[in-house]
Structure 1
Amino acid sequence: MKKLKIAVFASGQGTNFQALADAAADGRLDVDIELLVCDKAAAPVVARAEQAGVDVYVFTPKAYPSREAYETEILAELQRRGVELIVLAGYMRIITQVLVEPFYGRMINVHPALLPAFPGVNGIRQALDYGVKVTGVTVHYVDGGMDSGPIIAQRAVEVLDGDSEEALRARVHKVERELLPWVIAQIASGRVELNGRQVTVAAEAMRSEG
């Protein structure tokens, strides 16, 4: 069978990108990572992609008059390569309708909180400041709002007494690196169905998650 072609958008360290690249390399994830899209040439994720043999599309946002302008160029590149799924994995820029409309239902994001709680930046810090006992990870479709798209999967992470932001972040990111490849695998195998705000994952897939 033809592998699902994905593009990963990332801006920073790239640990989620690495988790996807490793899963694809060892056969746990049956996809083709066609492209990394990054808005920072010096970001460590760029070196990770090059090491994994993944093509990189780096752009400088300030060189364009608007978000729509650079997204138009990115869209053309994605379409040229036949990309079928966009994965936002630590991409720190707002996505406009230029990408949302053609990729609606084919663009997902991983967020370090149990949405709809603590959307936006610093979800882990927000959870600590609020004093919740449980936070977690959400993978959701992108609809153009602030982490407001339909939720595909969530996994909880306990907040321990005396947790530092660094300690909680390490546990949350570990779960991100487990949940994101799992969700992509379900999408690639056709087990995920989007109907309005409701997302259904096939029962056999949910059982296999463990």
Structure 2
Amino acid sequence: MTASIVVLVSGSGTTLQALIDACADPGYGVHLAAVGADRDGIEGLARAERAGIPTFVLRVADYPSRADWDEALATRVAAYDPSLVVLAGFMKLTGEAFLARFGGRTVNTHPALSPSFPGMHGVRDALEHGVRVTGCTLFVVDAGVDTGPIVAQRAIEVRDDDTEQTLHERIKAVEREVLVDAVGRMVRDGFTVEGRRVRLGRTPTGR
């Protein structure tokens, strides 16, 4: 039976589209069970609906507290029994309740080579620092901001004429490739998180 993923989005869903396209190929071996969002009316949800994928929306403003929203999000995602949760441009930090259920099997991307330049402005910060090489990082989500164990990274040269926009566009193109490749491998072949190391493939005991 093909293992499932749930993808959470907040915006246009270009990374989601890469996963939708990949999951349409039976050889990829991953079923995209649902797409969730923290806001209505976004293109990410429209992409999922056009592909016939179930969607749901949980807005923080509709809950008494952020913790209540986090608990509701965890419950809703759990209904699809995913092997992996993918944050694809999801602009909310997951909290204790969510990590209690999905810690160790939720992944996110960051447009820099972690641990450098964490936070919302990784591309801008790298440019301002004057680095000659930056890139993207896929990591297992923990309670910090872009601090989780690293699954995969890809380096990208910074050009002399780069702006934040041009650099970010090149990073995003590579980011999608890295995410699709790694998510497929994690779901098909399994993975383990041992401290700061993520090992793809099942252990000799089959775990």
Aligned to 1:83: 82
Aligned to 1:12: 11
CA contact (8 A) 1:10 1:37 kept: yes
Please say if 1:187 is aligned against 2:186: yes
Aligned to 1:208: none
* Structure 2 letter corresponding to 1:128: L
Cα distance in structure 2, aligned partners of 1:28 and 1:176: 21
Cα distance in structure 2, aligned partners of 1:105 and 1:29: 22
How far 1:79 moved relative to its partner?
Answer: 2.0
Alpha-carbon deviations, 1:137-176, whole Å to 9, x = none? Answer: 1000011111111001100011100101111111101001
Alpha-carbon deviations, 1:37-56, whole Å to 9, x = none? Answer: 11121211011111111111
Aligned to 1:150: 149
Unaligned runs of 5+ in 1: 203-210
Identical aligned residues as a percent: 40
How many residue pairs match? The answer is 201
Aligned to 1:92: 91
* Structure 1 letter corresponding to 2:159: L
SS at match of 2:189: coil
CA contact (8 A) 2:33 2:54 kept: yes
CA RMSD of aligned residues (A): 1.3
CA contact (8 A) 1:20 1:29 kept: no
CA contact (8 A) 2:5 2:34 kept: yes
How far 1:130 moved relative to its partner?
Answer: 1.2
CA contact (8 A) 1:10 1:89 kept: yes
SS at match of 2:172: helix
Cα distance in structure 2, aligned partners of 1:102 and 1:60: 20
Please say if 1:33 is aligned against 2:32: yes
Alpha-carbon deviations, 1:166-199, whole Å to 9, x = none? Answer: 1111110100110001111111122532111112
TM-score normalised to structure 1 length: 0.91
SS at match of 1:81: coil
1:1-210 aligned at under 5 Å gives the runs: 2-27=1-26, 29-201=28-200
Cα distance in structure 1, aligned partners of 2:181 and 2:58: 29
Cα distance in structure 2, aligned partners of 1:12 and 1:65: 24
